[in-house]
Amino acid sequence: MKYTKATNYALHIMAYFVKQEGTDNLSLQPLASHMNISPTYLSKILTQLVKADLIQSTPGANGGYSLRKTKTEISFYDVIQAIEGSGALFTCEMDENRTCQIEKVMQDAEAKMVNHLKEKRLVDVV
């Protein structure tokens, strides 16, 4: 079990947006060379961030991407969830037995990690 590389990229991308807040739209090509990844792959990550409402996109000349929320609102968890989804890390079939203690311990543990990630904002690290 590991976080995906896409999550790593997304955190760095969003940190960069936070750092550049207030400037013009950032378009794909410059972003890609700054991050050292291919434009098409970066595009897919950015689109996920758009769908999660963390950034907004505008097509056409002088278009690009920019922050949607104010920078102090964006937590680590917002970014991670946009890429990894929101399913629990540990799930078990056979949901008959809803008094399951194993699942509860695992999900309580995950919740502690998630709470920390919700508290920390990108603006704390730029």
Q: Which of 42, 55, 67, 76 is close enough to bind a second copy by CB under 8 A?
A: 76
Structure tokens at 121: 């904002």
**Minimum CB distance to ligand SF4 smaller for 65 or for 76:** 76
Q: Is 67 helix (H, G, I), strand (E, B) or coil?
A: strand
Degrees (nearest 5) of the Cα angle 64, 70, 72?
130
Cβ atoms 21, 67 nearer than 8 A: yes
DSSP assignment of 5-29: HHHHHHHHHHHHHHHTTTS-PBPHH
What does 34 bind: a second copy, ligand SF4, DNA, none (CB cut-off 5 to 8 Å by kind)?
A: none
Q: Which of 63, 97, 115, 120 binds ligand SF4 (CB under 6 A)?
A: 97
Residues near a second copy (CB under 8 A), total: 33
Helix axis angle for 76-84 and 39-51, nearest 10°, is: 110
Q: Which two tokens stand for residue 107?
A: 């999900």
**Residue 103, interface with ligand SF4 (CB under 6 A)?**
yes
- Does residue 92 touch ligand SF4 according to CB under 6 A? yes
Contacting residues toward a second copy, per CB under 8 A: 1-4, 7-8, 11-12, 15, 76, 84, 87, 89-92, 101-102, 104-106, 108-110, 112-117, 120, 124-125
Contacting residues toward ligand SF4, per CB under 6 A: 12, 92, 94, 97, 100, 102-103
